[in-house]
Each structure stands twice: as structure tokens, then as C-alpha cells.
Amino acid sequence: MSTVSMTKPDYGIDAPKVLRNFFVFGTLALVLALVLPKTLHLGPVALKTHPTFGWIAGCCLVEGFLYLLYVKVGKFGHRDFILGMHRWRGDEQVLDVGCGRGLLLAGAAKKLATGHATGIDIWSNEDMGGNSEAATLHNLELEDVVSRCTLVSQGAQAMPFADASFDVVVSNLCLHNLYDRPTRKKALLEIVRVLKPGGVAAISDYKLTGEYAEAFAKAGLNVERKWGSILTTFPPLLVVIARKPE
């Protein structure tokens, strides 16, 4: 009997509806390109259906496969890229904002000897397939880091942590899911608040990174930005690195 599901962590599919839609619309456009006449007359308008739907199908399917490559392979390399923004000692207190099923959290915990990693999330299934606190805990157990981790069910805009609690704060594809700017600003200022002097925040996303960088800079942090791999991250991901002065 196979034991793969019991012994191999499952970090889920990011934004599963987006991945589904790429393939659904791509397949539908491909079918239309094949079955419709090459020119479709809509009143006075003549639509060249074959190239139009062919291009739509090609774009959607290519984007779908690129996104699937990120979900299955690329996000592991991107995790290592994010964690590489800090020179690890092993005694750090780490916070993963929007930890999902624990990919970044487990990766950070493996770099710790006496330190501790905390993951905060509300575990939305819109943003991550099969997302739940239980699934995250199971992955941490399989990665043998559960003793070095704590999970907290709370929104990022109101963190239940004391000021200057963490040496490192990380996050990937989380903050854009806070849909209004005032709420995102609260979350960003919470990151600043809980970060220790001399600490670093590495926040990765595919959009709104300029907003993140601006908020951190206005709060007095030293900010730089670095692109992830253009080959294995889709959509392209930018990491905002913010260091809090000592």
C-alpha cells in the first residue's frame, strides 16, 4: 500500500481557481478555433475566428502550464530565494505572514537551532487549495519541525504579538489578498511594529510591491527589491526586502 500521502508534505495549489481558469478558457478557445468557420460574419463585422481564438488558446494554455510549473517546482526555489535574504544564525524568532500550508514556515524552521518560527494565517481556501490549520500542522510534522513552530489563527492587520518580537518576517503571495489599501497598510505597519531593530522583512508578491516598499520606507526601514527567477515563477514575483535600523 502506498504511503506517499502520509510521508510527503503537500503544499497545495496557490489560487486554484486561477489555474483552473487558465486551462478552462484555453481549452474552450482552442475548441472554438477548431470548430468555427475561419471568418464569422456578425452583421457588418467580419471576425477572423481561427487566429483570434488560436491566440487566446495559446496564451491561456501557456500561462496555465507556466503557473503549474511554479506550483509544482518553482515555489520551492522561490522559498529558498526568500530565505536567502537573511544570513541565518539559528537563534532567530521568525514570523511567516500568511503561512498557508507551511512551505516558507517549514523552510525557515529548518534553519533554526534554538530559535522559533511562528505562522499566522486565516487559512482561506480561495487563496490556497485544501488550506487549513490541520493541513499545515501535518506538513510541519512530516518536515520534523513541529516542535520549532507555532500556528496562530489571526488576520495580518491585527497581530497578537508584542512590539519587536521577531528577527525575521517573511511572506509570499499573501498581502494582495487584503483587498482594500487601508487594511493592507495596517498589515504592513504591523510587520514594522513586530520586527526587531536590526531585523529584516522579506515580502514577496506579484503585484502591489511598490505600495509595500513605500509603506516600509515611510516607516523608516531601509528598502530594496529583488526579482525572483523569471523561469520558474509565474506570474513574476518581486521580493521587497526591508531592514529595520538598530
Domain boundaries, the chain: 1-246
Find out whether 191 and 166 touch, Cβ atoms under 8 Å. Answer: no
Q: What pLDDT does residue 127 have?
A: 64
CA 176 to chain centre: 9
Sheet of 93-97, strand order: 149-153, 116-121, 93-97, 166-172, 195-205, 238-243, 222-227
Tell me the fold of 1-246: Rossmann fold (3.40.50)
What are the tens digits of pLDDT across the range 116-132?
999 999 987 776 667 88
Give 5 or 191, the one with higher predicted confidence.
191
Mean of the pLDDT values across residues 201-224? Answer: 97
Backbone angles phi, psi at 227, to 5 degrees: -80, 145
Q: Which long-range contacts (CB under 8 A, 24 or more apart) does 48-53 make?
A: 53/29
Residue 76 has, within 13 A of its CA and on its CB side, a CA count of 8
Q: What pLDDT does residue 4 have?
A: 37
- Whether residue 2 has pLDDT greater than 60: no
Report the 10 Å Cβ neighbour count for 58: 14
> What's the one-letter identity of residue 34?
L
218 - beta bridge partners?
A: none
> What's the one-letter identity of residue 113?
A
What are 36's three cell numbers? 468555427
What are the tens digits of pLDDT across the range 47-65?
555 677 788 889 999 999 9
Which position has the grid cell 491561456? 60
What pTM was computed for the model?
Answer: 0.86
